Each structure stands twice: as structure tokens, then as C-alpha cells.
Amino acid sequence: MPQQDAARLAGLDRTSWGRIEAGKLDVRLDTLLRIQFALGVDTLEALFSETTGDLFETGHEDRNASPGTPGI
């Protein structure tokens, strides 16, 4: 599923989705639940399970991003 479609289903804009993927944005529980629904994942545990892999892995994470960015 394209990033823009998943973001729309989760009620997020594409920029916020990308920032979440890159680990540059803290996420509230309600946002995680919307992402879970948008991706069609059964449980939050499955969203982060080793068997499903890292659903948010982008391969270009900015490791110098400052923590504590306000969440959505």
C-alpha cells in the first residue's frame, strides 16, 4: 500500500507519516491504533512483532534526530 494511502486511512498527512517512520515524531496511543487499523494489523503487539518485521523501516533513518519531538 502506498504511504499516502496508509497515511490517509490513519487520518494522518503524508509528512507526519514519514516523520513517524523516521522516528522523528513521538506517537500517542490513539495514533498507533489508527496506524494499526490502516495497515490491517490485528494487534499492536503484531505491529511491532519480530515475525512481521519493522513495518516502519525506511532504511534512511536520521540517527541524529533529537528525541522528544511532540507527538501527534
What is the end-to-end Cα distance of the chain in Å, rounded?
Answer: 22
- Per-domain boundaries in the chain: 3-47
Our CA angle for 57, 42, 26, nearest 5°, is 45
pTM for the full model? 0.64
| 8 A C-beta contact, residue 53 and residue 16 | no
The DSSP annotation for 35-50 comes to HHHHHT-S-HHHHT-T
What is the per-residue pLDDT across 1-51, written as a single tens digit (0 to 9) for each? 888 999 999 999 999 999 998 989 999 999 999 999 999 988 888 887 765
**When comparing pLDDT for 55 and 44, which is higher?**
44
**When comparing pLDDT for 56 and 65, which is higher?**
56
Cα–Cα distance list, 28 to 45, 52, 55, 70 (Å): 15, 21, 17, 10
- pLDDT (0 to 100) of residue 62: 44
Q: Look at residue 55 and tell me whether its pLDDT is greater than 80.
A: no
